[in-house]
Structure 1
Amino acid sequence: MTEKFEKFSKALDELIREGDMLHMSMQYIFMPEKFKRAAEEKFEDPKKTKKYLDDLPDFYTSYQSWYSEAQSLIAQILPNRLTDFQNYYEYPRVRKETTFQNYMIKDMLQGLRVTRYGNEVVADGSSAIPEFVQQLNIVKAAREKLNSTLIDLTNLLQADVFDSEIDSAQALAKSGFLRAAGAICGVIIEKHLQSVAKQRKISIKKKNPTIADLNEALKAAEVISVPQWRFIQHLADIRNLCGHAKGSEPTVDDINDLVLGTNKIIKNIF
């Protein structure tokens, strides 16, 4: 069992624990009296009940970090559910009206409340509770997948290799071997983008695609944003500078940017 596997296992356990607490927090926000009565019945001690309620996280300030970490782990362990996970947060791009069915977590965080006929509530923050429950269920499914013998460890092992190779690139850069460090980073970026394209089932026409080819394909498939596309393009330019014998020499700042950027890509693009 790899160190990365152990790290993911502990991270998922913590995400599930935090997720359960965030779920409790949502219920307390929108059903305070009912939730408080249930807590009083459970603890049968006013002090314990108060401590429990006081210790609940603030959903509005805690959710985004939970979402970001969960999204990253799901992409590597259960990639076929990543889009579903994201869709429970983000409201549809085209939405003629907001209803209970299409009210998402992002709506809740923005404080959206929809009424009609003056006082009748169509959708409010409580409408996002089922969406969060589904996100939490996907995280729990990822935990089960990690435990099963059917899990594909390729991504986990690859992540270990990439971390090691980035360390090697940093060591080479510190020793003055700038082109070698840049070349290693270029290979890491290329392999990672190929892996992302494969997971997303994006067809790449070229047999041996470059970073630029992969970057264009991921942008066209809307896997990456325009700012991310530009960032990768910038890193590819530095990598190309390292691969050409003639022309300008890469600077220390160039390689430092490339190393840091490579680490950012493998941690945030999936």
Structure 2
Amino acid sequence: MASNIDRYKSDLDKLLKLGKDLFYTMQNSVFPKETIEHLKSTMKSDEEVAEYIKQLPNFKTTYQRWYSESIVLIKQILPDRLQDFIKYYEKPKGRKLLEFENYTIEDYLQGNFRNSSYTNATSVSVSAAIPQFQQQLSILRSIKGRFESTLFDIRQLVHADFLDSELAVAKELLKHKFARAAGAVAGVVLEKHLFQVISDRKIAIKKNPSINDLNEALKKSGVIDTPQWRSIQLLGDLRNKCSHSKASEPTAEDVEDLIAGVDKTIKTVF
């Protein structure tokens, strides 16, 4: 079975490939002649260039998916560059005048530009988004170097592999009708993961915290939003139902929901 590291690498390769295609889509829309000449220098024939340009994705319909998936990966592997990545997309708050330096990909998607004939300032065309997207690509490429660096801290990825293995045990127990035991194991996985997130983010927490304590601390610190908080709260209730002998017997559906919810949490809350 592929490890989390392998999955991250595979996801990264796909995003880098799509990012390269999106870059050429952007270049070709603004500088078509220059783009074709550049591609001719890297490809074997004019037919190959024409075919490549033909299959390029639509930037406006594809970028948002690429951006969203890239954010998830950067947040997990290179969190210190996340805000930089977002900055190249989002229009700065309080911007008074559209300039080359503050032009963003969001402007590009909305077709924003400034014609100098209407102001005393220099004009700003949609081409100003190209270097912004190049910066985003550079941040994404730096993740590859992080994987290959001996300084890369794989603790979180190993931790995720470990939790996946424990969750597989819960699924196997449920398969053999041990619903309460399966739910208890899934609950332990949830608790371990939330505690690890708290520890990684250096959030203060009391000794021997419950899932509810961890959930409240994460919400208070802004790590999770209200829907995630409610979801984890429900998972905690299901876990308690499985772990306390005096509680009503959990159903197979209860435990299936618990396992699915824990699986989603360990892959989206970090």
TM-score (normalised: structure 1): 0.84
Alignment of 1:191-270 (within 5 A): 191-199=192-200, 201-270=201-270
Work out whether residues 90 and 105 of structure 1, in 8 Å CA contact, stay in contact via their aligned partners in 2.
yes
Give the direction of change, closer, same or farther, for the CA distance of 1:96–1:65 in structure 2 (3 Å limit).
Answer: closer
Q: One-letter code of the match for 1:99?
A: L
Give the direction of change, closer, same or farther, for the CA distance of 1:88–1:212 in structure 2 (3 Å limit).
Answer: farther
Give the direction of change, closer, same or farther, for the CA distance of 1:230–1:27 in structure 2 (3 Å limit).
Answer: same
The whole-number CA distance in structure 2 between the counterparts of 1:117 and 1:87 is: 25
TM-score (normalised: structure 2): 0.84
Partner residue in 2 for 1:27: 27
Partner residue in 2 for 1:156: 157
Query: Which deviations, in whole Å up to 9, do the C-alpha atoms of 1:99-153 show, x marking residues without a partner?
Result: 34444334444x2515467767966654433332222112211111110111111
Q: One-letter code of the match for 1:263?
A: D
The whole-number CA distance in structure 1 between the counterparts of 2:23 and 2:146 is: 22
Where relative contact order (Cα < 8 A, 6+ residues apart) is larger, the structure is: 1
Deviation of 1:33 (Å): 3.9
Q: One-letter code of the match for 1:38?
A: H
Q: 4+ residue stretches of structure 1 with deviation over 6 A? A: none
The whole-number CA distance in structure 1 between the counterparts of 2:191 and 2:211 is: 5
Deviation of 1:48 (Å): 2.4
Query: Which deviations, in whole Å up to 9, do the C-alpha atoms of 1:165-189 show, x marking residues without a partner?
Result: 1111111122222222222222222
Partner residue in 1 for 2:67: 67
After superposing the two structures, state which structure 1 stretch, 42-51 or 14-23, moved more.
42-51
Query: Which deviations, in whole Å up to 9, do the C-alpha atoms of 1:61-84 show, x marking residues without a partner?
Result: 332333333333323322322333
Work out whether residues 40 and 46 of structure 1, in 8 Å CA contact, stay in contact via their aligned partners in 2.
yes
The whole-number CA distance in structure 2 between the counterparts of 1:267 and 1:141 is: 22
Partner SS for 1:149: coil
Partner SS for 1:180: helix
Alignment of 1:135-146 (within 5 A): 135-146=136-147
Partner SS for 2:238: helix
Query: Which deviations, in whole Å up to 9, do the C-alpha atoms of 1:13-34 show, x marking residues without a partner?
Result: 3322222222112212233343
Work out whether residues 202 and 217 of structure 1, in 8 Å CA contact, stay in contact via their aligned partners in 2.
no
Deviation of 1:44 (Å): 7.8
Work out whether residues 202 and 221 of structure 1, in 8 Å CA contact, stay in contact via their aligned partners in 2.
no
The whole-number CA distance in structure 1 between the counterparts of 2:160 and 2:264 is: 13
Work out whether residues 167 and 259 of structure 2, in 8 Å CA contact, stay in contact via their aligned partners in 1.
yes
Query: Which deviations, in whole Å up to 9, do the C-alpha atoms of 1:38-94 show, x marking residues without a partner?
Result: 3356558432221121122222233233333333332332232233333433445x4
The whole-number CA distance in structure 2 between the counterparts of 1:164 and 1:224 is: 25
Q: Which runs of 5+ in 1 are unaligned?
A: none
Q: Which runs of 5+ in 2 are unaligned?
A: none
Deviation of 1:213 (Å): 2.0
Work out whether residues 98 and 114 of structure 2, in 8 Å CA contact, stay in contact via their aligned partners in 1.
no
Deviation of 1:264 (Å): 1.0
